[in-house]
Structure 1
Amino acid sequence: MQTKIGIIGGSGLYDIDGLENPKWVNINSPWGVPSDVILTGELGGVDVAFLPRHGRGHVHSPSTVPYRANIDALKRLGCTDVISVSACGSFRTDMAPGDFVIVSDFIDRTFAREKSFFGTGCVAHVSVAHPVCARLGDAVELAGHAVGVNIHRGGTYLAMEGPQFSSLAESKLYREVWHCDVIGMTNMPEAKLAREAELCYASVAMITDYDSWHPDHGSVDISDIIATLGANSTAAKTMVADIAVRLGKARDVCPCGCDRALDFAIMTAPDARDPDLLAKLDAVAGRVL
């Protein structure tokens, strides 16, 4: 098996530098049209597929991102690993704007999104007790240190629906009662869908600001946030190239079991499965179906 890295770029990250043999590819998905065409190529001899989550020009809001189509398209392209990069707010003073956080867990507060590839006609339950891949997180951490990013290993990501930012009361709840570390709008249901598709998944939260809990939040100028976002995106591109080299071309079976998440997940008896749904699941669950 060979490594192929899917990179999902969030706000401010709409392309990738340094790709060899770059090519924009259209992928047809039975789950709809992905956020954009996908930029394929090589970084350090490793195959890479880059997908701008919001589309070039930032046309999709967090609620309208076609998450299922995006993950299905990356799976159809042969991706084995997915690195999600997204802009986030911070609940901690030691996780400052400009820092990166390798997310270790999520609290999902989204409510207006399709969250599974499975359903009536083919029911499946996958475990997301540990929603990110530790092996992939190791590579991200080493790459972050190598390129000089101030990177934190571990943190709980509060996924909110948006598109509005949180109220002061919500921000205090997430920080003081739930003890979350960062807040964003896009990693759910993305991480859940990646697990259903048996893809190793790592999330890199690029901090642009403190959320509304911070006493200085109201005095932050939007131009400062945009400047931080730009600097973060530049660092992220450098880091992704280093991750590709660290992962290398040859790939073993995932020691965390991400690539076997469906082994015991499907509950519907074979003779009761909906053939139309099975046809849509050909890429996501073809290994077990």
Structure 2
Amino acid sequence: MDTFIGVIGGSGVYEIDGLDGAEWVTVASPFGTPSDAILTGRLNGVRMAFLPRHGRGHVHSPTTVPYRANIDALKRLGVTDVISVSACGSFREDMAPGHFVIIDQFIDRTFAREKSFFGTGCVAHVSVAHPTCPRLAEACHTAATDAGITVHMGGTYLAMEGPQFSTMAESKLYRDVWGCDVIGMTNMPEAKLAREAELCYASVAMITDFDSWHPDHGAVDITDIIATLAANAGNARSLVARLPDLLGPDRAPCPHGCDRALEHAILTAPASRDPALVEQLGAVAGRVLGG
């Protein structure tokens, strides 16, 4: 199998530089319209796809991002590995604005989003005990290090609904009681859906600010945050540009089983499955549903 890297870009990251044969393509999904067209091409001989999570011009809020359509569209294109790039706030003094964190755990506090491709007529339960792919995470860490980015390997991401930021009481709860490291609004249910779609998924969290727990939070000027966001976007592009050489054009089965997550996950008996839902699941679960 060939490697096909899909990048979902967050705030400030709207394209990949230097793609050969770059073309924006529209992918139809039975789960709705994706956030935007998808930029496709090759980088150092490896197929790449880029999807702006909020749409070009930042038209989707964290709640209205069509997460299911986005993941389904990438799967339909043939993407094998998904890299999420997103802005976040930090709960840790040593994880400062401008630093990157390679996430390995999530606490999902979102509540207004469709979180599964499956449902009545075709029930499935996948494991998200380890919601990111260690192989892909390691490649992102290496790419960040090689790009000269201050990067932390491992961290817990608190996914909040938004669009408002946290109260100080919430921020202190997430930091001091729950032990979270960063906070954002977009990695859930994205990571869960990637697992259901049998896609390897890694999350690169780009810190723009300290959350409201920090005594200096109120003194931060918005221009400082925008400047950090711009610098982070440039660093994110440098990280992404190094991934094709690290992952290579030839892809072996994932040693952690991400690409086989549905192997024993579907519980609905074949005779009881809803044909319409099974048809919708053609790209996501066709390997195990016989589509």
- TM-score for both structures, normalised by structure 2: 0.99
Aligned partners of 1:12 and 1:245: how far apart in 2? Answer: 24
Instruction: Report the Cα offset of residue 243 of structure 1.
Output: 1.2
5 Å matches for 1:33-112?
33-112=33-112
Aligned partners of 1:85 and 1:119: how far apart in 2? Answer: 28
- 1:215-258 superposed Cα distances (whole Å, 9 cap, x missing partner): 00000001100000000000100110101211010000000000
Query: What amino acid is the match of 1:196?
Result: E
- 1:182-201 superposed Cα distances (whole Å, 9 cap, x missing partner): 00000000000000000000
- The aligned residue for residue 174 of structure 2 is 174
Aligned partners of 2:225 and 2:178: how far apart in 1? Answer: 25
Instruction: Report the Cα offset of residue 148 of structure 1.
Output: 0.2
- The aligned residue for residue 239 of structure 2 is 239
SS at match of 1:229: helix
- 1:48-81 superposed Cα distances (whole Å, 9 cap, x missing partner): 0000000000000000000000000000000000
Query: What amino acid is the match of 2:283?
Result: A
- The aligned residue for residue 213 of structure 1 is 213
Structure 2 gap ranges (5+): none
Aligned partners of 2:43 and 2:90: how far apart in 1? Answer: 31
- 1:143-193 superposed Cα distances (whole Å, 9 cap, x missing partner): 111010000000000000000000000000000000000000000000000
- The aligned residue for residue 138 of structure 1 is 138
Query: What amino acid is the match of 1:179?
Result: G
Structure 1 gap ranges (5+): none
Aligned partners of 1:241 and 1:74: how far apart in 2? Answer: 19
Let me know the Cα RMSD of the aligned residues: 0.4
- The aligned residue for residue 260 of structure 1 is 260
1:11 aligns with 2:11: yes
Aligned partners of 2:245 and 2:276: how far apart in 1? Answer: 40
- The aligned residue for residue 249 of structure 2 is 249
- The aligned residue for residue 127 of structure 1 is 127
SS at match of 2:205: strand
Aligned partners of 1:14 and 1:249: how far apart in 2? Answer: 24
Alignment coverage as a number of residue pairs: 289
Task: Using the aligned pairs only, state the percent identity.
Answer: 74
Aligned partners of 2:110 and 2:20: how far apart in 1? Answer: 37
Aligned partners of 1:178 and 1:8: how far apart in 2? Answer: 27
- The aligned residue for residue 269 of structure 1 is 269
